[in-house]
Structure 1
Amino acid sequence: MKNIRGIVFDLYGTLFDVHSVAAACDTYHRGRGREISLVWRQKQLEYTWLRSLMGDYVDFEQATRDALAFTSRQLQLPLDEAARTALCEEYLKIKPYPEVPDALARLQAMGLPLAILSNGSVNSIRSVVAASGLGLRFKHLISADDAQIFKPHSSVYKLAEQQLNCDCSELLFVSSNAWDASGARHFGYPVCWINRAGNAFDELGQSPDHVVQGLDQLADWMAAQLIVSRS
């Protein structure tokens, strides 16, 4: 893992907890918020993959709205237009995992440019990052909108190379989504997988180069790597 010149992060589920919307969901259907959030997230992912395969791109915000409409019907938990709009607004304000702010500050202090590469729309990424107060940590916010297709398509991973003006082999890609980590590794990035839940890694012919349980452990590891490289 020598000669790393920058770090590229996934956003949803990696830096920010997508299920922080569960509390808002619970205000509409008491006791069902977590269930709504889980189905919503799974269908959101499926819609990005399916639309990529169909060649029928819509931005992430539209995929998120469509996934919520499906979730409401599938679980037979009615949400009117105002409720769906309010919950989609909550998705623009999801919360970072507890260790993320301090870990990002430590990583930034190491002098490496930090970037986000996300399936989120330009507006979605900017909104989430701004709401968290972490905007100054990132040099680049990169959206799949620029490729008009979603990860794990290779053209999305190429965007970070172009923006940071580095070969992917010089950029550490960080994701908690095993499918995303696999896609990035297949493209050629060295990959760190954040495995907060103790899950098995997907069987897609790829393996992460490093595994941590949280972003704080990544900061510890990068600090150690920096010491070795300077010795």
Structure 2
Amino acid sequence: MIDNIKACVFDAYGTLFDVHSPVARSAESLGEKADPLSRLWREKQLQYTWLRSLMGLHADFWQITGDALDYAMNVTGADRAMRDRLLEAYLTPDAYGDALPALRALKEKGKTTAILSNGSPRMLESATRTAGLCDSLDAVLSIEEVGVYKPHPKVYRLACDRLGCEPAEICFVSMNPWDASGAAAFGLRVARINRFDQPGDVLPGEIAAVIYTLEELPDLVA
């Protein structure tokens, strides 16, 4: 049990939304290149957020997502004519089936719910609206407010400032082990959702709980 929680704050991409769904929709057209393209796209997308943060050369997540797609298409030899279709699909990624029920259950328990994401405001507005999550969220927070990507402490401080909570009053939920560690090191209470049996990172920050579906979360927080 994670006690004395006022707000549950979720990572978006990988946690609430399936980052591989944009490519999956075009899998038939992409053929055998679909899986390596999707995995490399996501890998480079994350790498570019970290590298740009270290370089002090910020660009929003939409540009980074496009740059990462260009890299992945160049490496895999995927048809460049597919680029615009794939990139636009990232505005409407599929939500995981456990996302909306978990958010609704948390709201019924009186918890504040929010997203804290690398995504740009436009991307997050589109994704949450398309997935029907808007009515179950009290806030959608983008790193664009602080101008640096996760896992910088400024990002996690943003959630505290905007929601009016102390770090220990927030349960942060992420599928990304490095994000979970970053939030825990900052002082948030972290429930890492382990959708794909990934090992946790060897980084500072104590993870409060590991769950395997978001449906476990409402009974975990008090």
Report TM bin, short chain. Answer: over 0.9
| TM-score normalized with structure 1 length | 0.92
Name the structure 2 match of 1:114.
Answer: 113
Name the structure 2 match of 1:60.
Answer: 61
1:192-214 CA-partner distances (Å, limit 9, x unpaired): 00001111100113331011001
Name the structure 2 match of 1:101.
Answer: 100
Name the structure 1 match of 2:123.
Answer: 124
| Structure 1 letter corresponding to 2:215 | D
Contact 1:185 1:206 in 2 (8 A): yes
How far does residue 145 in structure 1 lie from its aligned partner after superposition?
0.4
Name the structure 2 match of 1:34.
Answer: 35
Name the structure 2 match of 1:22.
Answer: 23
Matched, 1:143 2:142: yes
| TM-score normalized with structure 2 length | 0.96
How far does residue 69 in structure 1 lie from its aligned partner after superposition?
0.3
How far does residue 27 in structure 1 lie from its aligned partner after superposition?
4.3
Distance 1:23 1:17 in 2: 10
Distance 1:125 1:165 in 2: 22
Unaligned runs of 5+ in 2: none
1:169-197 CA-partner distances (Å, limit 9, x unpaired): 11111101000000000111010000011
CA RMSD in angstroms comes to 1.2
Contact 1:25 1:36 in 2 (8 A): no
For the residue of structure 2 that corresponds to 1:155, the secondary structure is helix
Name the structure 1 match of 2:70.
Answer: 69
Contact 1:24 1:33 in 2 (8 A): no
Contact 2:185 2:206 in 1 (8 A): no
1:124-157 CA-partner distances (Å, limit 9, x unpaired): 1111000101111111100000111100011111
Matched, 1:3 2:4: yes
Distance 1:19 1:137 in 2: 24
Distance 2:161 2:84 in 1: 34
Distance 2:79 2:55 in 1: 29
How far does residue 113 in structure 1 lie from its aligned partner after superposition?
0.7
Higher deviation after alignment, 103-112 or 113-122: 103-112
Contact 1:195 1:212 in 2 (8 A): yes
Distance 2:55 2:177 in 1: 22
Name the structure 2 match of 1:192.
Answer: 191
Identity in percent: 41
Contact 1:19 1:37 in 2 (8 A): yes
Contact 1:118 1:144 in 2 (8 A): yes
Distance 1:79 1:86 in 2: 10
Distance 1:165 1:221 in 2: 22
Distance 1:151 1:92 in 2: 20
Contact 1:25 1:37 in 2 (8 A): no
Distance 2:97 2:160 in 1: 29
Contact 2:186 2:205 in 1 (8 A): no
Distance 1:207 1:74 in 2: 37
Distance 1:191 1:110 in 2: 19
For the residue of structure 2 that corresponds to 1:31, the secondary structure is helix
Distance 1:76 1:31 in 2: 11
Matched, 1:175 2:174: yes
